[in-house]
Amino acid sequence: MTHRWRWTLALALLAAAVAGAAWWSLPGRDGPPPGVAVANGRIEATEVQVATKLPGRIDEILVDEGDSVQAGQVVARMDTQELEARLHEAQAQVTRHREARKAAEALVDQRDSQCAYAQSEHRRIRQLMARSHTSEDALDRARADAEAAEAACRAARAQRLEAEAGIEAARAAVERIEAELADAALHAPRGGRVLFRLAEPGEGLAAGGRLLTLVDLDDVYMIVYLPTARVGKIPVGAEARLLLDALPDRPVKARVSFVADEAQFTPKHVETREERQKLMFRVKVRALENPQGLLKPGMPGLAYIRQSDAETWPPEP
C-alpha cells in the first residue's frame, strides 16, 4: 500500500469516527438514523425498603447514607429486651410442663397398678360368688372399685396428654419468640447503596416501619414513551443505547426489557404539550452495565432503540 493510499484510508476512518461521534453527541440536531427510535427519559433504579416486621424501638443502625451494602448484610437491629424476657418465660413454661408430664406419668403408673389390683379383686370376688362363698354386697363393692380404678386410670392418662400438649405449646412459643428475635436483626434484601436513612436509633416504629431505602445501581433503567408507529417495530430484547446529558460521549449498552400492552398518555415531564395529546406506549430500557456506578437515578438523557435486528447499528464514538 502506497503512502498516499494509507493517508486516504486514515482520513476515511477518521471521517467515519467523526460522523459517529456527531450522531451520538448531536442527536437533536441531526435526528436518529433510519431504523432507530429515540426518546427522552430519566434514569431510574430499583429501590427497596428495609422495614421492621414487628413494632419496637430501634437499637442501632449500622450504615449511613451512601454506604454500599451486600445482600443479606445486617444493616440495623431493633431493641430485644422485651423479647428476651418473653423467651425466658416461654422456656420456663417448657420446663414446667415437662415436670408436669413426669408427675402425670408417675400418676399413670400408680393408677394402672390400682386398676390392675381392683380388676383382679373383682374377678376373685366373682369366682367366690359363683361358689356362694361371699355376698352380693361384696361383689357390688368389688365391681364399683374396679370401675372407679379404671376411671382414675383414664383421668391420669388424660392428665399426661394435657402435659404433653402444654410442652408442645410452650415449645411453639419459644420458636415464635426466637423467630421474632431473628427478625430484630434487619438484613439488606439485596445489594445496593443506602439512599436514605428514614429513622434513627431510639425511635419507636410500628410494624412495617421503614428504616432505610436502598437503591440497586446494578439494576438501572430508563422509562421512555414511543408512538404506535415506532413501538410496533420494537420487540422485547431489542438492542439499545442510553446517552445521558451528563455523559454525552459515553453511550451505555442497554436492551428493551418491557413494552406495554396498552397505550397511555405520556407524563408531562417527558414530552411537549403537542406530544402529550397522543397516546404512547411505555417502554422500559434496561442498562446492561453501570460502569463505576456513574448512572444514577434522576439523570436525564436519551434512549436509542434499534427497531429490528436487520437494521445496522450506527457507529459509536
Specify the CATH number for the domain of residue 130: 1.10.287.620
Mean pLDDT, rounded, for 198-213: 93
* pLDDT number for residue 125: 66
Within 13 Å, how many C-alpha atoms sit on residue 285's CB side? Answer: 31
If asked whether residues 41 and 190 sit together in one domain, one would say yes
If asked whether residues 199 and 61 sit together in one domain, one would say yes
183, 201, 233: which is the final residue of a domain?
A: 183
If asked whether residues 315 and 204 sit together in one domain, one would say yes
If asked whether residues 44 and 193 sit together in one domain, one would say yes
If asked whether residues 213 and 288 sit together in one domain, one would say yes
If asked whether residues 71 and 132 sit together in one domain, one would say no
If asked whether residues 300 and 222 sit together in one domain, one would say yes
Is 11 within the bounds of a domain?
no
* pLDDT number for residue 291: 82
* pLDDT number for residue 12: 39
If asked whether residues 104 and 53 sit together in one domain, one would say no
The C-alpha angle 246, 264, 239, rounded to 5 degrees, equals 45
Is 10 within the bounds of a domain?
no
| Residue-wise pLDDT tens digits, 48-103 | 999 999 899 999 999 999 899 999 999 999 999 999 999 999 999 999 988 888 88
Count Cβ neighbours within 10 Å for each residue of 244-273 and write b for 16 or more, e otherwise.
beeebeebbebbbeebeeeeeebeeebbee
Closest CA to 242 of 45, 6, 1: 45
If asked whether residues 296 and 159 sit together in one domain, one would say no
Is 5 within the bounds of a domain?
no
Percent of the chain whose predicted confidence (pLDDT) is above 90: 39
* pLDDT number for residue 314: 57
Look up the pTM and report it: 0.66
Is 292 within the bounds of a domain?
yes
Specify the CATH number for the domain of residue 190: 2.40.50.100
Number of domains the chain contains: 2
If asked whether residues 205 and 61 sit together in one domain, one would say yes
* pLDDT number for residue 139: 62
Is 9 within the bounds of a domain?
no
If asked whether residues 267 and 303 sit together in one domain, one would say yes
- Tell me the pLDDT of the chain averaged across its residues: 80
183, 202, 234: which is the final residue of a domain?
A: 183
- pLDDT beyond 90 at 220: yes
Q: In whole angstroms, how large is the CA radius of gyration of the chain?
A: 39
pLDDT tier, 214 (very low <50, low <70, confident <90, very high otherwise): very high
183, 210, 237: which is the final residue of a domain?
A: 183
- pLDDT beyond 60 at 258: yes
If asked whether residues 190 and 250 sit together in one domain, one would say yes
- Domain containing residue 201: 25-78+186-317
